[in-house]
Structure 1
């Protein structure tokens, strides 16, 4: 983590992890990519290294993030996906020139255009969002049960009954709050 910035909340699904760069949307929102350099840092963590990012490109990335959030939330609730969100996701996907590359170990990496353009990285994220929201991938979109978070996440658990976007943050916070509330109700149970 760069000094002075909140940690990234990393997940295994690129598109929903990207929406997590703004967390606690229904509480005290935490912006995890407040600067162009911070977006470059986040992209590098996901193997999407880009050479540069301008403030205008950061705004394009945030627009994509919010569009993915809106579309994923609608899909999780089985509501119609907002047309504006669909347009932004499709535009970013079409503008990117990233390609999936098979590694010698059998994994997947992304190769961006020759100039490592930010638009290529955003195209990869948009394409991932399309695969998740359209139902192409094995899993289910759900919303975090934390009242201050409510982030859309992609549940790949066997039962598809996960409640939290991240057990280490939202899940633990909710368990701790429940424990503290129970302690206040029954002080004799404190050990």
Structure 2
């Protein structure tokens, strides 16, 4: 019997959606891409189609994910990213040969090479991270206010004051905890 895999958290920003494949980093962490095939599935949801992934490529992908997370966390805290994280991101960006293509519908799509499609997909993610980390996109990096999450996310809200990586998960959980705590406080003072 196949065990249920956790759902992906899909955001609108590729690089931070990739880092969100490991959630609850400060609590009981949830790995959302526990196998190479699951990475292939996640990439397909982001229109980065690869047929397979070796264990070595999977390890490179997880290294890129953690490097983006470290660099984004540092940027959210207005600190310099670790040199090792910068190196992994730059290496991943340089390793690929993906080509941006304009679709008939006016959208961007990525053409991955036949020789190394997974390296190309990772280079697209790394390039997205670079554009965010370098300040080339309108928005700000922030950390989720949930103490068990603390995920880095890219806030593109008008006011740039978003507190949660995802309102449906972390935001709801924190609001529910505050509500339950206030009910207990009210009972204790009655």
Which interval holds the TM-score relative to the shorter structure? over 0.9
Structure 2 segments unaligned to the other structure (5+ residues): none
TM-score, normalised relative to structure 1? 0.95
Q: What is the DSSP-based 3-state SS (H/G/I as helix, E as strand, rest coil) of the residue aligned with 1:162? A: coil
Q: Is residue 161 of structure 1 aligned with residue 161 of structure 2?
A: yes
Q: What is the DSSP-based 3-state SS (H/G/I as helix, E as strand, rest coil) of the residue aligned with 1:153? A: strand
Q: Provide the residue aligned with 2:64 in structure 1.
A: 64
Per-residue deviation, residues 107-142 of structure 1 (Å, max 9, x unmatched) = 111111134621110000000000000000000000
Matches within 5 A, 1:104-123: 104-115=104-115, 117-123=117-123
Matches within 5 A, 1:1-191: 4-115=4-115, 117-187=117-187
Displacement of 1:3 in angstroms is: 5.3
Contact 1:51 1:115 (C-alpha < 8 Å) held by counterparts: no
TM-score, normalised relative to structure 2? 0.95
Q: Which moved more, 1:97-106 or 1:59-68?
A: 97-106
Which aligned segments of 4 or more residues in structure 1 are displaced greater than 6 angstroms? Answer: none
C-alpha separation between the residues in 1 aligned to 2:168 and 2:51?
Answer: 32
Q: What is the DSSP-based 3-state SS (H/G/I as helix, E as strand, rest coil) of the residue aligned with 2:142? A: strand
- How large is the Cα RMSD of the aligned pairs? 1.3
C-alpha separation between the residues in 1 aligned to 2:3 and 2:11?
Answer: 22
Q: Number of residue pairs matched?
A: 187
